[in-house]
Structure 1
Amino acid sequence: MSIPGKKGASLATLKDLSRHLGLSVTQISRALNGHSDVNEATREKVMAAARQLRYQPNLSARKLATGRSGTVGLVVPAPSHAANDALFVQMISGLSHNFSKLDVRFLLHIADERDDPVAVHRKLVDSAALDGFVVVDSRVDDPRVHFLQRREVPFVLHGRTLEAVDYPYFDIDNYAVGHRLTKHLTALGHRRIAFLNGMDGRSYSLARMRGYADALAAVGERFDPALHRNGEMRQSVGLVETIRLMENQTNRPTAFIAGNSLLAKGIYEALEALSLSIPGDVSVVAHDDLLPAPETAAMHPPLTVTEAALQDSWEPMARLLVGALEGQPLEALQLIGDIRFVERRSVGPAPRG
């Protein structure tokens, strides 16, 4: 008979731990599952023995006992561009790491971009393999949210929809992002301000557009749809859209707002190609998710930004979903992260004439 903990031995069971420690199986189980009626000394002793004897929970038994699998999931399409690869890896590693710290397994499901996301979620829900979901890239009216709510499946959303927000979420104040950046430019006399925003239909894009429009209205300027562009937030998009907007020699924008640092990099590249200086001819600001690249403080000139590190989303999102699974009250499961305004050298007064 093999001895648990020895090389080549079978994994230990709850009964093995019970015999090893002289505690009941119930005490062992409650210690491993983090119940509050187990004191810290006992819990640490049980956890140490579990590591020593190579104990692994019986997932089928756990599910029968608790109705939960201990696994949550994320459904996303594969990254469509190389520029998104680093962000994708950062998101997946951040979520996986933080769920692991909470003793929850994290499953990544890569869906075909042609698949109906609701159908993919339905299949996973019907399999009863997952306890809940992380949902990212929120839409203004998100069918994934409606489906999961109808099925009463716990989830946490990165962002918010624009209807009643009665679910766990982590977000930043995207209205404030659009308003703060625009107000900074209008205070220096800019009125023709172009905004290269994110994808149409995304909640954050609409919130930022509203902040931008309200800041313009505060100085008597009407929202001009020709100056607001939705699209993928990539460097090449920033370059192309800037060239298009600057083609009008008599009515060019005097300033640009970029939805992220990649768009801003494209704006810089386009203005350099047009022999226009920053900030002498054109001012530029952006929202910075603190992506792996580009580094906005190292751009020439250093870029004025609002900033909120996207990587700071993953720890609270893991915590909020686990809180939802544990039945915590909704008000404890809705969190808005901080944004910071950083003034650098990419903004100057609006040119005369």
Structure 2
Amino acid sequence: MTTLKDVAKKAGLSITQTSRALNDHSDVSAATRERVKEIALTLQYRPNLSARKLVSGRSGLVGLVVPRTKDLASDGLFIEVVSGLSTEFSLRDMQFVLHVTQPEEPIIPVYKRLVGNGAIDGFVLIDPREDDRRAAFLSKAKVPFVVHGRIGPNPKHAYFDIDNEKIFRGITRHLSALGHRRIVLLNGIEDRTYAEARSCGYRHALVDSRIDPSEAIIRSGAMTESFGLISTVDLFSGPEPRPTAIICGSVRIAKGVYQALNALGLSIPRDVSVFAHDDHIAQIQTEAFYPALSVTDAPMRDSWKPLAACLEGAISGAPLSELQVVGPYRTILRQSTAAPCQ
């Protein structure tokens, strides 16, 4: 196995100089750093984690902790999260570690064990809640972390997010401008921060459009086809007046909505307009819906690079202002939305 001494000999440098070049110390010229890295790559040198920890105080390991669920191995979102983050951290010469807890295992003791052994430099937190105990613990322990989303109105942590409140305010205002007054929001799980932001944007848009907030129609649940289907059947099984527009938190929900409306003999958009947020996780082509689905478009895959960059920056001590990133989105209007029939 190639050692640091082998790389140093090939480069004609001391072991200390070689180590500092590989760790991007500023007292080593850029040209030398590049040359040493090329030699290390040619010799297939891999740094010993214990040695790296002694030299830099860092292991190069970052972690993601998730609870085990019965469908975890087949969950497309989970697979994309893990593969995307692993790739991006690998490009930064950092190793990504996945820790899966038992279904009912308390989460904070898990973090305490991982933090206590000093092996992991920082964590990625996904699916944040409004009162997130993981973030509170890591903040108190002064362990770097980055959140996919935001916690609280003035977050003091690194994050990558999209402006969920603005997105859903815009969707709702568009539908109300078309003349819709009874607009449904099929939202995500209630205590998730993104779901709260979306609900906030929806409610604000109702007020903007002079629609009484008491007329808000919100259903919350897992973002699945079955949630969309069951919610739609229930909404249209009650007495009049019926909704004329449905906003879906994901395209998977929208797929269930389409199935339900078709079964009920209702036409899109003549009877009901449908609008969804598309994060490209479900591998469903929204333009292939019939009629083609209007969406706000912000691919989840665009999250992995900034999340990795923000955590790397947090570990390196970069200022918080550089570690809070809001990603772009675009609105694509198609045939699933129109003015309601009079």
TM-score range, shorter chain: over 0.9
1:165-184 aligned at under 5 Å gives the runs 165-184=155-174
3-state SS of paired residue (1:256):
strand
3-state SS of paired residue (1:72):
strand
Q: In the aligned structure 1, how far is the partner of 2:70 from the partner of 2:216?
A: 27
Mark the CA change 1:162 to 1:126 in structure 2 (over 3 Å): closer, same or farther. Answer: same
Map Cα deviations across residues 45-88 of structure 1 (whole Å, 9 max, x no partner).
21222233332212112112222111000001235547962221
1:294 shift after superposition: 1.3
Greater displacement, 57-66 / 201-210: 57-66
**Is 2:54 the partner of 1:64?**
yes
1:17 shift after superposition: 2.0
Output the amino acid matched with 2:257: I
Q: In the aligned structure 1, how far is the partner of 2:22 from the partner of 2:117?
A: 26
The answer for the alignment partner of 1:141 in structure 2 is 131
Map Cα deviations across residues 265-311 of structure 1 (whole Å, 9 max, x no partner).
00000000001000011000011112242111111111111111111
Q: In the aligned structure 2, how far is the partner of 1:236 from the partner of 1:292?
A: 14
Map Cα deviations across residues 163-206 of structure 1 (whole Å, 9 max, x no partner).
54111001110101210111111011101111100001011111
Q: Is the 8 A contact 2:162 2:326 kept in 1?
A: yes
1:245-284 aligned at under 5 Å gives the runs 245-284=235-274
Question: Equivalent of 1:310, from 292, 300, 304?
Answer: 300
Q: Is the 8 A contact 2:66 2:101 kept in 1?
A: yes
The answer for the alignment partner of 1:346 in structure 2 is 336
1:250 shift after superposition: 1.5
| RMSD of aligned Cα (Å) | 1.6
Structure 2 gap segments, 5+ residues each: none
Q: Is the 8 A contact 1:196 1:256 kept in 2?
A: yes
Q: Is the 8 A contact 1:73 1:106 kept in 2?
A: yes
Map Cα deviations across residues 8-47 of structure 1 (whole Å, 9 max, x no partner).
xxx1222222222221112211111122332333223212
3-state SS of paired residue (1:335):
strand
Mark the CA change 1:207 to 1:198 in structure 2 (over 3 Å): closer, same or farther. Answer: same
3-state SS of paired residue (1:284):
strand
The answer for the alignment partner of 2:177 in structure 1 is 187
Structure 1 gap segments, 5+ residues each: 1-10
Q: In the aligned structure 1, how far is the partner of 2:75 from the partner of 2:7?
A: 44
**Is 2:327 the partner of 1:337?**
yes
Count matched residues: 342
Q: In the aligned structure 2, how far is the partner of 1:191 from the partner of 1:267?
A: 19
Residue identity (%): 49
1:1-353 aligned at under 5 Å gives the runs 11-78=1-68, 80-81=70-71, 85-224=75-214, 227-352=217-342
User: TM-score, normalization: structure 1?
Assistant: 0.93
Mark the CA change 1:80 to 1:259 in structure 2 (over 3 Å): closer, same or farther. Answer: farther
Q: In the aligned structure 2, how far is the partner of 1:22 from the partner of 1:226?
A: 71
Map Cα deviations across residues 75-105 of structure 1 (whole Å, 9 max, x no partner).
0123554796222111111100000011111
Mark the CA change 1:301 to 1:81 in structure 2 (over 3 Å): closer, same or farther. Answer: farther
Output the amino acid matched with 1:248: G
3-state SS of paired residue (1:109):
strand
